[in-house]
Amino acid sequence: MKLLVTGGAGYIGSVVTRMLLDAGHQVVVLDDLRTGYPEAVAPEATFVQASIHDAAEVLTPEAGFDGVVHLAALIAAGESMVKPELYWANNTVGSLALLDAARIAGVPRFVFSSTAAVYGNPTSLPIAETAHTLPTNTYGATKLAVDFALASMATAHGLAAVSLRYFNVAGAYLRPGIALGERHEPETHLIPIALQVAAGRREKLQLFGDDYPTLDGTCVRDYIHIEDLARAHLLALETARPGEHRVFNLGNGNGFTNLQVVEAVREVTGHPVPTETAPRRSGDPAELVASSDRARTELGWTPAKPGLPEIVSDAWTFYQARLQDGQA
C-alpha cells in the first residue's frame, strides 16, 4: 500500500513508519516537526515537512494513496487545559482538514491515533470500547471529536475508518543501528521521567496523589510496548472495512501503580529513584486499564512484550544511547 503517515517524526509515528516499511509498504511522512525529530524518520520514507492543515497539497487525487495513518497531534493533557485553543485547532481542525483532503483524493482507508483519555473516569474496569466516553480533559475531547467525524465519514462516504485508542505507550524500538524511543519536550510521561531521575538528570520524581483507592494509593495505568502498539496499525490497515468506523482499545489489560513502575525502574537501572508526593492532578482517574478483547479477537492482535521489566528495559537502553550521544 502507499500510505501517508502524519506525525511520522514523532515517537509512535517513527516506529509505525519503520514497521510499515519493513512490511513492504511505501510511506510518505507528513510532519511539521513541532515536536518531532527529522532523524527519527526512516530514510526509506519520503519526508514532507508540512502541517496536516495543508495535507491537500500532498494528498492529491493523482498521488494514489491507499491509506492514511494519522498520528500527528499535540498530546499533553495538562497543557490542553490551559491552552485549549491550540488543541482544538491542531488536533480537531487539523484532522478535519486532513480528512477532507483524504475524501477529495478518494483515499479508502484511515487509521487514527485516539486515546484512553476519551473515556474520562471509567465506571467499570477493564475499559471496553462500549464504555461511555466523557473526557475529563480538552486533549481527550479533541480526539473524541475526530472519532465522531470518522464515524460520519464512514457512513456518508464509505471510508474504512479505524480509531485505535491507546493506553500508556512506552518502551523503545531497538534494532542494530536503529533506536526509536520517547523524546517529548517537556516530558510528561512517567517512565521516561523516572529514567531521567535514575540517570541523575532530575532530582526526584513527583507522584501526584498517594491516597487513591488502589493497592498503594498511587494511580494505576496500563502500559503497552511501542512495538506491540505499532503492529496493531498494520493489522488495522489490513482489516479496515469500507463504510465502517471500527474502534479498538490497545493496552495490556494489566494495570501497574505508579509506585510499581518506579520500583521496576529502580530494578532495571540499578539506580535510586527518589520520589516526592504531590497533590492529585485534577482530572486524573484512579485507574485506567484496557480491555483489549476486541483487538485480540477482531484484529488477531496479541501483545508480544506485555511485561513491565521489558518495557522499562527497552526505554532505558534507548535513553542511555541518547545520554552517550550527548542528546539527553
Chain contacts with ligand NAD (rule: CB under 6 A): 6-7, 9-13, 30-36, 51-52, 71-73, 75, 90, 94, 113, 115, 166, 168-169, 184
Catalytic residue among 11, 139, 223, 319: 139
Nearer to ligand NAD, 71 or 262 (CB): 71
Give 32's contacts (C-beta < 8 A, 6+ positions apart): 49, 50, 51, 52, 72
Contact 237, 109 (CB under 8 A): yes
Q: What strands lie across the sheet with 46-48, from one edge to the other?
A: 46-48, 26-30, 2-6, 67-70, 109-115, 160-166, 245-250
Q: What is the largest CA-CA distance in the chain?
A: 57
Please state, as a whole number, how many other Cβ atoms lie within 10 Å of the Cβ of residue 217: 16
Nearer to ligand NAD, 184 or 271 (CB): 184
Q: Closest approach of Cβ 270 to ligand NAD, in Å?
A: 26
| DSSP label of 279 | P
Q: Closest approach of Cβ 140 to ligand NAD, in Å?
A: 9
Catalytic residue status for 37: no
Nearer to ligand NAD, 6 or 269 (CB): 6
Q: Closest approach of Cβ 80 to ligand NAD, in Å?
A: 10
Beta strands in 14-106 (DSSP E): 26-30, 46-48, 67-70
Nearer to ligand NAD, 180 or 268 (CB): 180
Give dist(CA 56, CA 224) in Å, integer: 33
Q: Closest approach of Cβ 272 to ligand NAD, in Å?
A: 26
List the grid coordinates of 120: 474520562
Run of H or E residues at 6: strand 2-6
Q: Closest approach of Cβ 211 to ligand NAD, in Å?
A: 25
Nearer to ligand NAD, 168 or 218 (CB): 168
Catalytic positions: 139
